[in-house]
Amino acid sequence: MEIEVSAEAKDKRLNRLVAITVVALSVFTGLCGIKDGNIVQNMQQAQVTSIDRWNEYQATRTKLHLAQSSREQIALLAPDLAKAAPTLVKLDAEIAKYTTEAPRLAKEAKEQSSAYDEFNRHDDQFDAADAALTTAISIAAVAALVESLPLLGLAWLFGAFGLVMGTAGFLGLGLHPDILARLLG
């Protein structure tokens, strides 16, 4: 009878550990999911803005080329340069405008592309955290079913990795699962 009582106590202890593990990891997974969703939205915005800036850059470069070509043609073919002077002045102003505008647009596009890359690094951290935490929760559930403390220990290892990756994502740390990202990417 005493043996059965201590066995029940051991089961309760294991089940309590599993329950605490599952709750803690589930809450952290939920928080990571919220943050990751926000990061994905920021990634999408950065990508859209980068594409828009590159499109503006290309259009500005095309307008610059057309203004330069038009100016050259008018200067070469105009029978009376005095009459063409106002048009040439207008084209010179457009050329100056496009010449200063193009590098600014290229710089903005590159900045948005860099922002996207930075957001993507943090997204990878949260993806790794999600995978590890989900695996840990699954292993913990199996540990409860088969009443295995070593299996719960394995769940804790996966959970610890998930907690580290999620914390790195929240804190903006440079810790990145490069091998995992390349394998799954």
Q: What is the mean pLDDT of residues 31-51?
A: 95
In this prediction, residue 181 carries a pLDDT of: 66
pLDDT at 10: 59
Query: Rounded distance, CA 125 to CA 172, Å?
Result: 10
Query: Is residue 18 predicted with pLDDT exceeding 90?
Result: yes
Give the per-residue pLDDT at 175: 86
pLDDT in tens, 50-89: 999 999 999 999 999 999 999 999 988 888 888 889 999 9
Q: How many domains would you assign to the chain?
A: 1
Q: Return the percentage of the chain with pLDDT > 90, whole number.
A: 78
Q: Residues 125, 127, 128, 131: what is their CA dihedral angle, to the nearest 10 degrees?
A: 160
27 class by beta-carbon count within 10 Å (0-12 exposed, 13-18 middle, 19+ buried): exposed
Domain carrying residue 68:
2-184
Q: What is the Cα–Cα distance from 14 to 3, expressed in whole angstroms?
A: 16
- DSSP-based helix, strand, coil % in the chain, nearest 5: 95, 0, 5
5 pLDDT band (50/70/90 cuts)?
Answer: very low
pLDDT digits (tens, 9 = 90+) for 84-114: 899 999 999 999 999 999 999 999 999 999 9
Coil, strand, or helix at residue 150? helix
Quote the pLDDT of residue 2.
45
What are the pLDDT digits (tens) for 116-128?
999 999 999 999 9
CATH number of the domain within which 138 lies? 1.10.287
